[in-house]
Structure 1
């Protein structure tokens, strides 16, 4: 058998929750085989700003991961060293104001992921890209690093976990601009699954070209 590692840009679920969900769906999954953008953000901050006081625009699992890693959260904008933007369904003008004031006061600006929307049954929800854009627009700055797919930060974390050369890996997912692009950037074979965010017509006209296009992940079983 081949090892399977699951990568997620969604920081609203813990790795434990994701592993439990996959196991319930019939894919027995260990927590160590889950890599999400929260985990990569923790590693990024430990490497670059280990003592930073944070202001997080995100949901509770991201807060928990950062807190458990030892990071502190600032009480006022003048104490904030870094603003962390993420998928946040409780985003408010008040949060935007704090981010604005902090960045204007010299805080750094990073994000977990740059997805435009998150697919949900019946449609989608605006994702972290909308929050990043709002902060960039009012502060006239650019987000310094987005650590999720397709970034090199996420890829480096994957390769460290797998300890394999990219040529021995297959990256599969349902998004061209994140899943497929990251695999291509790393020199992996890629398989676009037509089960979620991308339709066949989009794949055929996109400049991002996967190695394979599959209807669903079941096609990989016999590979």
Structure 2
């Protein structure tokens, strides 16, 4: 079932053929209606989709039913596809292999990770000495760009989704934070969805460090930062109205779509529920049970 929502009344789930009205305000307080056109599960007029992975394309090691067929329909329609993930535990090559193992062919140019956003931020701030709490795959991505991940005098403690975390890493990072080294995180996600329930993600690690050291991150990369997709939209020469972000998280996927000005499609196959949506400041263009309902 497809559900459209009106920004003005979240309690009314209005089905079939309703124009979605989203309102924004300029600096003078004048109400402006956003120019997003109506969208339904046919994705008519959409030329590019940005696809979350965990909870949208797969759960853990299992492909979500209908995901492969959806991707094939995108190819048939000539819709460009980009795979996005805040999950910084893997590098691009690992994502390519995981997708290939699930029967999905993807080029490295079509995979956009929170680690890419982190690398851009580190470069912009001239940071090359870090202590990383992250996986070996994430460390490789940083080291390939000339960033030390085991510095004894780091400019920043860098926190990623470390599925290989040890108490030693927590101890060393905590000592650095206590000594005044600032913290940057790859993304804000609290949980990583899995077939048996959510698992601790970077947001949970941030809460741990806050409790232990009192330190908050100076910056959090990844979704919902709109720059993760806006640079690609500009590169493709498309308007935001021709693009859609499809994901299972309201506070990252939908928040980024709203910030970028493109369509946001919520799938209920991962983290978010309709109950979550009722209390969320974000309103999607479309809500579907899973990606199988699209196209």
Which aligned pairs between 1:1-223 and structure 2 lie closer than 5 A? 1-50=78-127, 52-76=128-152, 79-159=153-233, 162-221=236-295
Count of residues in Structure 1 that have an aligned counterpart in Structure 2? 218
Q: Larger Cα Rg: Structure 1 or Structure 2?
A: 2
Unmatched segments (≥5 aa) in structure 2? 1-77
Residue aligned with 1:184, SS: helix
Deviating beyond 6 angstroms after TM superposition, the runs of 4 or more aligned structure 1 residues are none
Greater percentage in helix: 1
Q: Provide the aligned C-alpha RMSD in A.
A: 2.1
Query: 2:96 & 2:116 partners in 1: Cα distance?
Result: 14
Question: Does the residue aligned with 2:255 lie in a helix, a strand or coil?
Answer: helix
CA contact (8 A) 1:59 1:89 kept: yes
Pick 1 or 2: higher relative contact order, CA cutoff 8 A, min separation 6.
2
> C-alpha offsets along residues 30-66 of structure 1, whole Å, 9 cap, x if unaligned?
110000111221121111124x211001111110100
Task: Check conservation: 2:139, 2:149, Cα contact below 8 A.
Answer: no
The normalised TM-score by structure 2 is 0.68
What CA deviation, in whole Å up to 9, does each residue of 1:75-107 have, x standing for no partner?
Answer: 43xx11110011123334432332222233332
The alpha-carbon deviation at position 123 of structure 1 amounts to 1.2
What SS is found at the alignment partner of 2:81? coil
